[in-house]
A and B are shown apart, each in its own frame.
Chain A
Amino acid sequence: MSKNNERIFEEARLKNLELATRRVFFKDCFLGMGSMALGSFLSGCNWLGSKDGTAIFNSDNPLLPHAPHFPAKAKSVIYLHMAGAPSQLELFDYKPDLMKLDGQDCPQSLLEGKKFAFIRGVPKMMGPQANFKQRGQSGAWVSDHLPHFATVADEVSFLKAMQTDQFNHGPAQLLMHTGTPRLGRPSIGAWATYGLGSENSNLPGFVVLTSGGKFPDAGKSVWGSGFLPSVYQGVQCRSEGDPVLFIKDPAGMDRDLRKASIDAINEANRMSYDEFKDPEILSRISQYEMAYRMQISVPDVMNINDEPDYIHEMYGTKPGKACLANNLLLARKLVEKGVRFVQIFDWGWDSHGTDESLAIDYGFVNKCRTMDKPVTALLLDLKQRGLLDETLVVWGGEFGRTPMQENRDGKKMPFKGRDHHTEAFTIWMAGGGIKKGMSYGETDEIGYSAISGKTTAFDVQATILNQLGFDHEKLTYQFQGRPFRLTDVHGRVINEIIA
């Protein structure tokens, strides 16, 4: 036993002795009886995992990789969430008829019984503020705001008739990612990691990257683990400064010393495991070990500087900054190393027209410019590495934007903008067993509401899980006496876009 460890073992010995004191005995009886009673209320709950036995929480190594229900078409997912909700009417949903109505009063029929976040009274219709062309072989409509993306339009499947029932950012984002507009449910990345574990034992299974200067409105809950064990929550990494906060050893603590201290702590833990046989202790030991391994491997993958120049040029990265381009390059690196789920949030797409940065004809165009090249680069880079085939890329916002110009509080606004809109928006998916050059769903001639091929957040979630090899109805977790699942009682796999 080395000298360094003696203090730890001494502390362990003292804690151990405390167990025999009267005070601790009473405390334990008190809590113990309470929890026994609680336990009997909750009896019948199968706490650890689903009955079908495919995804079972293993407290010894919760991130142990699992096989899904059926062979997966996608091994990883990169979910690009444009927080604030980009306008489908300026990007993909081309509505020449809306142009004809530009500047006219919105017909009453579209307003009756409808609720908007900010529109009041009778707004004016606003035609598309972009030029559209059909692209590639598939003839997909993509506006001039995305000149690079237009060249890869044949790689993706558009869902043009997405609908939601939430018109505020927070709830709508939660709905997209956790399957409910309220707090408390696990996010889709957490479900995926719960079901699949982490492929690379040195890296987390679920990583979150943010850009745009702000967090998504719904806060960290959009990548939370809800009622799932907390090991499944997204690990937020940063492309600026330390990739993961508090991962560096403190000054004066070298790697060997760190190793020695973790070994010592683990040995003490193992001794108490021998005594009590509580599996949570083993879980603690394995987590210390994983944290130690990640100290080395995380900074390594998170470092984009060792990528060749042409890759940096392709993505248009800005070294040392927290920006979407850097995050997308990182996402590719992470997926290459076996991370299952990379969740990317880029804030700043809420184009109300309240100021220049949120104007549909200025700030929005600029957002498109910072997104266009890196997203295209991501698709091409994955493709040239043979990874697009097994990586599902999803792009979208939390809702759409109105075909009417926003008139906040019934007044004319300084810039052109569109309000939040629930009845139609566009998202796209690519790679990971999704059809190429497909467009599914249609909106009416002014893009106000979806008329055919409607899809919802639940359908998207079911489809993502399906591509990862899961039946979304069977990936469940027992909580509060009933099995929960991501899509609750909803969701249909969108077979129309699956190859």
Chain B
Amino acid sequence: MSNVFALIGNFHPVLVHLPIGFLFLALLFHWMSGKEKYAGILPAVRIAFLLGMISAVLSCVTGWSLSTGGEYDEDTLDYHKWMGISVSVFSLIGYQLSNKPNTGLKKVISVLTFLLIIITGHLGGTLTHGEGFLTKAFNSKSDSSRSARKNIINVQEAQVFNDIIQPILQDKCGGCHSATKQKGGLRLDGKDWILKGGKDGKVFESGNPLGSEIYKRSTLDPLEEKHMPPKGKPQLTEQEMTLINWWISSNAGFVKKVKEVVQEPKVMPALLAMQSAVVSVKKPAIPEGNIAKAPEAALDSLRKAGVIVLPVAANSNWLNVNFVSIPKISDKVVALLAPISKQIVWLKLGYADLSKDSWKLIGQCNNLTRLSIEHTNLTDESIANLSGLNNLLYLNLVGTRISVKGIALLKPLSKLDELYLGQTMVKTNDFTTLQKQFPKTVIDSGNYHLENIPADTQLLKAPVIKK
């Protein structure tokens, strides 16, 4: 008997759509019938309410059966349940009133029913798809928080559980085993939950991957019901399985760092991939949001002067400005940037010989994220103008006469990812100091050389073979 009861629970997701449809139709017909032209559909309102009521009651019953599986967030479930029951009650009232004359009460009831259906539906959606499912697509923040992988600069220093395993579990299992949902009574979003296990007991046994359900289930035949994640959901990759296996078999537990754990050759590539996968800097960087369109006249005069001015993308007002076509860049042309100083995000102005005023103007383009001013006459004094460009991610100073003294003035550029300092007055042994001043910036010292080795110029010759 209890099996049958559990079975009907599975029909809830199908049935719930019926009352939504019937009752919306009933309300629509009801509202339309107020107009004389549509008065003829009044009898249909009653039928639609009746059907809506029946299917609402059925949905309540199946829903109740499903809820006893206990895999849902309790608070949300409670609200959903009571809202669902009210929908049934209201549809009954609606049915009763449908052959009565129109009154104020009828209006209130119809609006309330409408709202209740929407709220109940949304709560149901939240139960199955997780919190914030509606807005996920619009909300890039929630998207990135979904993938919890964080930047690992040096994988050996990372924590095995917190930095490597937990993010995998959150990505691939979190949808069903976390605060919002506990399928199989199991949560995997933290040490304590993992140790607690699920409805069938322990899921983790240190040192024994195949004895740990958490790993064993992912090794099962994908078609098998117990295989995790279930068929059709994003699966663990081979690398992730290798890592989880290693985490359990090596007794790494929940606090050890990677370097404190034995690493067989097999996990090395997987570990290194974790590291390289994250040295990624988010690029191409353009500021969040949009900005007012740049004045067309300013763009025209720049274009006439030979400057390339383009939106960074179709439908964007942020501008990419490039002086590469101009053999000799004059201050007069640079001055044309003034009216678009807020719109420029990428600027290429290499090999220019500029006045103080021009540098000042460039310093006012404070939405700049990429600035290439290689081989310009920038000095340790004029660089002070750039210290307000706090959105800069990329700065190319190759071939300028900048020294450590000037670079120090860039301290406020907290977002700076890449700084190119080849062929400047920065001395080889200054770079260690600079790196300390800018711990988060990749500083390129340039000056690369390739050693000459005999193989570069010698060619192999086969010994003469006798035919």
Contact = CB atoms under 8 A, between A and B. Distances in A.
B14 interface: no
Contacts of B313: 67-72, 469
Interface string B411-450: 0000000101010000000000000000000001011111
A162 interface: no
Nearest to A67: B311
A338 to B, nearest CB: 4
Contact of B286 (A71, A310, A314, A435): A71
A362 B460 contact: yes
Contacts of B93: none
A499 B283 contact: yes
A359 interface: yes
Interface in A352-368: 356, 359, 361-362, 365-366
A147 interface: yes
A187 B456 CA distance: 33
A369 interface: yes
B324 A314 contact: no
A384 B444 contact: yes
A386 B444 contact: yes
A451 to B, nearest CB: 10
A207 to B, nearest CB: 15
B284 A199 contact: no
B372 A386 contact: yes
A383 B448 contact: yes
A65 B311 CA distance: 10
B272 A139 contact: yes
Interface stretch (B113-121, B172-180, B274-282): B274-282
A140 B18 CA distance: 57
A157 to B, nearest CB: 8
Contacts of A414: 465
A380 B451 CA distance: 13
Contacts of A138: 272, 276
A189 B20 CA distance: 54
A191 B459 CA distance: 39
A73 B284 contact: yes
B374 interface: yes
Interface stretch (A5-13, A436-444, A457-465): A436-444
Contacts of B354: none
Interface in B347-381: 372, 374
A386 B398 contact: yes
B309 to A, nearest CB: 9
B283 A433 contact: yes
Nearest to A203: B325
Contacts, number: 138
Interface residues of A, number: 55
A415 B372 contact: no
Contact of B280 (A359, A361, A499): A499
Nearest to A384: B446
A199 B322 contact: yes
B337 to A, nearest CB: 17
A71 to B, nearest CB: 4
Contacts of A415: 462
Contact of B459 (A70, A201, A359, A366): A366
B447 A384 contact: yes
Interface string A472-499: 0000000000000000000000000001
Nearest to A338: B324
B246 interface: no
Contacts of A433: 283-284
Given A389-B394, A437-B279, A137 B272 contact: yes
A383 B396 CA distance: 11
B317 to A, nearest CB: 11
B316 interface: yes
Interchain residue pairs A-B with the least CB separation, the first 6: A499-B280, A384-B446, A386-B420, A386-B396, A437-B276, A380-B448
7 contacts: A54-B314, A69-B313, A148-B450, A199-B308, A201-B306, A373-B456, A437-B275
Interface of B: 238, 268-269, 272-273, 275-277, 279-281, 283-284, 286, 306, 308, 310-314, 316, 318, 320, 322, 324-325, 372, 374, 394, 396, 398, 418, 420, 422, 444, 446-450, 452-453, 455-462, 465
Interface of A: 53-54, 65-73, 137-139, 147-148, 199-202, 310, 313-314, 316, 337-338, 356, 359, 361-362, 365-366, 369, 372-373, 376-377, 380-381, 383-386, 389, 414-415, 433, 435-439, 452, 469, 499
Given A359-B462, A386-B420, 17 more contacts: A65-B310, A73-B283, A137-B272, A138-B272, A139-B268, A147-B455, A202-B325, A316-B457, A365-B460, A373-B456, A380-B448, A383-B448, A384-B446, A384-B447, A386-B396, A389-B418, A439-B269
